[in-house]
Amino acid sequence: MSDQEAGTQQGDVKPEDLNAPINIKVVSSTGDEVFFKIKRNTKLSKLQGAYANKVGKDVSSIRFLYDGSRLNDDDTPSTLDMEEGDAIDVMVEQVGGSS
């Protein structure tokens, strides 16, 4: 196998694709969708801020989940193995409640 063939096995991300932009949708609990195109190494905290700004909410009052897990500020699409068209769920933070 030549060096060229070795780097093109399935599942490998080509170096030139490593920072290629991908489209991600943010889906609210009411089903509203907002689409973002970001690079794979962009921190998702930037996307969270842009979403909060777009919907007119404070970023600290909403929570972002990907595959059921809460996003950290330093997560990127690359570190989470996100793919084109993946969805991030957004929930309004609920505080309080007593019995």
Q: Is 19 left (phi over 0), alpha (psi -120 to 50) or beta?
A: alpha
Q: Is there a contact between 43 and 75 (Cβ–Cβ < 8 Å)?
A: yes
For the chain, domain boundaries? 16-92
pLDDT digits (tens, 9 = 90+) for 9-67: 444 555 556 678 999 999 999 999 999 999 999 999 999 999 999 999 999 999 999 99
CATH class of 16-92: alpha beta
Residue 92: pLDDT band (50, 70, 90) is confident
- Distances from the Cα of 60 to the Cαs of 66, 69, 85, 90, 93, in angstroms? 17, 17, 25, 12, 8
pTM: 0.76
